[in-house]
Structure 1
């Protein structure tokens, strides 16, 4: 690693935006610490990064388990002596109309999309405060700014990510940076979690125009690359045709 290299933790790194961000940040000289439940995918991704000349490691991670998230952060800190960036990326999106009453899916979105981010903040904020530097990059969504049918709960969770990020930014002072990345429709596996037929059809229409996960990764890398005195508060990235 070079002197500009950062220790970057990424949740939800086994696919989509997390995977693309891991590849890009590693290619730019950062050491990426990858977390997700699907460790077979993380193992393959870590090998790909090493084969391409980058550095990476991985850990099994369930962001809904606060103790597991602390272990993830503690392992990175023990191995490297610092954490420079946490990319809170893990998320799920089982869309459905409220009248469908899919309460278990609502709970899952709240657990992963909101509690997962809070667990990341709780685990890493004390580290950032102790070392007097660090950056949170929280992945929200265009759904944090506009609501569409079948997406009420999903949008609520992503608005929560935006609100938590803004509150965190105001609280932490000048030593810690907080960035929100709000993607529009992005090519990913999130749509695969949609069991409700109405929600699945809505997403099919939305995904007629989408951007690759690599485009969102570029935005994350841009925020990470800024000087310590510059805070990219939010980037909204979406298809030009949207």
Structure 2
């Protein structure tokens, strides 16, 4: 039986990495739609300020400082949701960190730390959430934020790409296991393309130059909408932005073409932007500067028809069917006209022959 999820307005939602970027955009959007929130991140001061902001707007929000890499701290977050709200309906694993640098030039200690947050943070949050949702009448949703880099890797962000591949593998395996053991729990993977978040400012940078996300860059609220859609609608996965999906398909079909292209283009497209934090001033090992949802990028895409189509599958199917029918009718009309002309020309030819023999 297909699981059902509550409307966002009737839900209690846990969000990790809630004080910056996509987590912050999602928290603000969910609070505006009436959800009760339990927010977590490493920056307690930012958490407190965010809850005060949401309260001032009429929202319901509480916080629990935590590092997602620590399972015990994730359990404390779940326990607080139980004590404040009687549990939660959706758990969003959003916290993440990044590294710019060649794999050979990135210390293994830093790569391990990145995996502690990006991969083990998702594992810790997902398993804690699954344990609680199994005991909750009606189940709920676990939403893991991966990346388009869950489907293909890029140079300069190799460790980050690897962590997001791991998130995808874990999420898919967990979904299959829960579909049998706890079918009332929905597990969704969200795969954003490049977003206009402070990611580059929080990422450790071994390139020795300012960096930016390669274009096209999408507005963070597009991904936040996708997350909240998945919170209320059973969904396997959503890719935010059509460009990343197209590149993933190209990489699957023609890797011998795609990989050399990325090897040459990504380092060039990643240059520029604002000055990155010096190594040690990033958020790899400590909390970053909070309460920044978006940062300036040139030509940020404020909408994504590809993303919207995934959130409106019936409408999209109807449009595609109508388009297909229109194409079929066009070809049928063309064939009918061509057949009419052939018959007309044949009659003319026969009459001409009869007249000539006449």
Match in the other structure for 1:175: 184
| Distance in 1 (alpha carbons) for counterparts of 2:44 and 2:230 | 27
| Distance in 1 (alpha carbons) for counterparts of 2:185 and 2:109 | 35
| Distance in 2 (alpha carbons) for counterparts of 1:120 and 1:205 | 27
Q: 1:211 aligns with which of 211, 218, 224?
A: 218
Larger Rg: 1 or 2?
A: 2
Q: CA deviation at 1:4?
A: 4.9
Q: 1:152 aligns with which of 130, 152, 158?
A: 158
Equivalenced residues, count: 234
Q: CA deviation at 1:195?
A: 1.8
| Distance in 1 (alpha carbons) for counterparts of 2:230 and 2:8 | 18
For residue 186 of structure 2, give the secondary structure of its aligned residue in structure 1: strand
Give the alignment's Cα RMSD to 1 decimal. 2.0
Check conservation: 1:95, 1:150, Cα contact below 8 A.
yes
Q: 2:68 aligns with which of 57, 63, 66?
A: 63
Check conservation: 2:18, 2:41, Cα contact below 8 A.
yes
* TM-score of the aligned structures, taking structure 2 as reference length: 0.62
Q: 2:20 aligns with which of 15, 24, 49?
A: 15
Check conservation: 1:185, 1:239, Cα contact below 8 A.
no
Q: CA deviation at 1:205?
A: 5.7
1:221 counterpart = 2:228? yes
Deviations 1:9-29 (CA, angstroms, capped at 9, x unpaired): 000001000000000011111
- Give 1 or 2: higher strand fraction: 1
Match in the other structure for 2:87: 82
Match in the other structure for 1:190: 199
| Distance in 2 (alpha carbons) for counterparts of 1:240 and 1:64 | 31
Check conservation: 1:13, 1:34, Cα contact below 8 A.
yes
For residue 53 of structure 1, give the secondary structure of its aligned residue in structure 2: coil
Check conservation: 2:145, 2:190, Cα contact below 8 A.
yes
Q: 1:41 to 1:4 in 2, by over 3 A?
A: closer
Match in the other structure for 1:73: 78
Deviations 1:33-55 (CA, angstroms, capped at 9, x unpaired): 10001111111111111111111
1:92 counterpart = 2:97? yes
| Distance in 1 (alpha carbons) for counterparts of 2:129 and 2:78 | 6
| Distance in 1 (alpha carbons) for counterparts of 2:109 and 2:42 | 19
| Distance in 2 (alpha carbons) for counterparts of 1:117 and 1:149 | 23
